[in-house]
Amino acid sequence: MLTFEITLQDHYRRLESFLRKLMPAAPPGYTRKLIKSGSAKLNGAAAHHDTLLALRDSVTLKESGIATGYLSAARPKLDILFEDDQIVIVNKPSGLPMHRTAECEENLVEFAQEYMAVRGTPCKLYPVNRLDRGTSGTVIMAKSSSSAGIYGRQVKESGLDKLYLALVIGQPPESGIINVPLDDKESETRFRAIARGESCALLAVTPISGRMHQIRRHLSTIGHPVMGDKRYGGGALADLSGFALHSFRTILIRPETGLLTVCAPLPEELLELCSTRGIEAEQLLAALNSRQEHQEGNLWIAKPS
């Protein structure tokens, strides 16, 4: 048996996504077959492909010529969190824009399309949701215009259940609701502090509405801007490609199978920034709820007093 221990870079990654990282050249569906057949196990037991991994979990893989041949020491350049024939969900790096801009030619959509082509599965990708260039985390892209329409309507009609992690300046209250109007429109953001460091706090943030730069602007209005967010008072940080805002968890409804929960492991630079500010990785992970709560979509609902 081949054994792999889960590190910080894969904490809260789906089991299938982890195996696909290990075997990026494997045919679509191969890793799921390994899980279903019991050739891939989690902590010595059978698991579902959607199971979210945790730090120090043990993933074992039955050794075979085929599986060993697909293993690669080099991790894929595109961090795919979930993929089927309709959509692909990726973990966007901070500092990478969604589309081509005058300031930066490299962008997520073209980069992902090039990756798909090199992999042998070329397709045009249509963003279902977007993140600011400085924000990292989950981005959904449809593989066809029809799929983009299906998921686009879902976003427009009911929105995506999204949860962000934000490292902010100062010491905000334990939880709260910010409902300052933005662009003359009603807006609401909920937050809860999950860890505190030196003159900073890590917040779990849920945007109820969907205004431009909503989280960044709202946190700035209460005097606790996102660290590294120069535009809204968070200052500049040389160690960050963008700012300390990460789209951590997204829940969407798939027409055929229902709810899908996808979490994006925290980027290394954000973990390092937290550490330098007194929030160690172990403390941060201990502040996260259990994986079952993640999968049921119940974590960190802000309950202001």
Q: For tokens 């399309």, what's the residue?
A: 113
**Torsions phi, psi for 178 (to 5 deg):** -110, 120
Instruction: Considering the candidates 10, 57, 79, 132, report the single residue annotated as catalytic.
Output: 132
The separation between CA 150 and the C-alpha centre of its own chain, rounded to angstroms, equals 21
CA dihedral angle for residue 151, residue 156, residue 157, residue 160, rounded to 10 degrees: 70
Catalytic, 132? Answer yes
Burial classification of residue 229, based on how many CB atoms lie within 10 Å of its CB (0-12 exposed, 13-18 middle, 19 or more buried): buried
Other CB atoms within 10 Å distance of the CB of residue 217: 21
DSSP states along 168-210:
EES---SEEEE---BTTB---EEEEEEEEETTEEEEEEEESS-
- Cβ(126)–Cβ(155) under 8 Å? no
Other CB atoms within 10 Å distance of the CB of residue 141: 25
Please identify every residue annotated as catalytic: 132
